[in-house]
Structure 1
Amino acid sequence: MHSPVVAMAITSASGPHVVLTLTGELHTGRLQELEELLADPRLHEAQEWVLEMASVRRLDLACAYALLRAATRRPQLDALTFRGATRPVQRSLRDAGLGAVGTIEP
């Protein structure tokens, strides 16, 4: 029996640097799970977030806006990087305004 794919997790948290790995389809059905992850205390203390998004197949605007809200509510956050996103996912990130608060890397 195959175990389910983890859609989102904090995969590294060392001091001021946190890496979140997101996979699969992030849509309104996953919004509560995403918001719970973004409320993790390790993110409140971090000064740099890196979101690994190479395995995200779809990101709807509701989830993109949740990322934007979480990032802009953290005044101590100095750097936000979205890494490995596909073109459609990059488009959703930009449409939500995340290009203005972070770096979107292909």
Structure 2
Amino acid sequence: MTVDPRHPNTVAPVRIVEADGRHAVLAFSGDLDAPALRVLEELLLDHRLVEPTAWTLDMSGLDHIDLACAYALLRAATRTEEPVTITVRGARPAVHRTLKHAGLDTVVAYEH
């Protein structure tokens, strides 16, 4: 479980639920906005995400994501020469719209 450093008694809006040498699953919940950006950026640098070349972003519990956080996901997806294959699962229409505005449609596949 990842604790939100802004509120030590709550779970962070994003956490790694699974990671092995090939695949990682990140789960999102609640609001991913400017106050959560640092938590997201730190998590995206986690050593467990270095090796996997495929990520699943489970956004079924995510109510809102702002553009700064969407751009952080885009940077993470494109930071290496070997691109990471990203699948977004369960994104609500408003979340999908923000991801699209940030340009993630060019590097992710969507599952409904």
TM-score surpassing 0.5?
yes
Gaps spanning 5+ residues in structure 2: where?
A: 1-8
Segment of structure 1 superposing worse, 33-42 or 77-86: 77-86
Deviations along 1:17-70, whole A, 9 cap, x unmatched? 000011110001100000000000111111101000000000100000000001
- CA contact under 8 A between 2:20 and 2:48: conserved in structure 1? no
Match of 1:30 among 36, 47, 67: 36
Q: Could you list the runs of 5+ residues in structure 1 that have no partner in the other structure?
A: none
**Would the aligned equivalents of 2:77 and 2:84 in 1 still touch at CA under 8 Å?**
no
Q: TM-score if structure 2 supplies the norm length?
A: 0.87
Q: Secondary structure at the match of 1:94?
A: helix
Q: Tell me the CA shift for residue 74 of structure 1.
A: 2.5
Partner residue in 1 for 2:3: none
The within-5 A match list for 1:1-106 is 4-106=10-112
Structure 1 moving runs of 4+ over 4 Å: none
User: Taking every aligned residue pair, what percent have the same amino acid on both sides?
Assistant: 46
Q: What is the aligned residue count?
A: 104
Mapped partners of 1:19, 1:56: distance in 2: 14
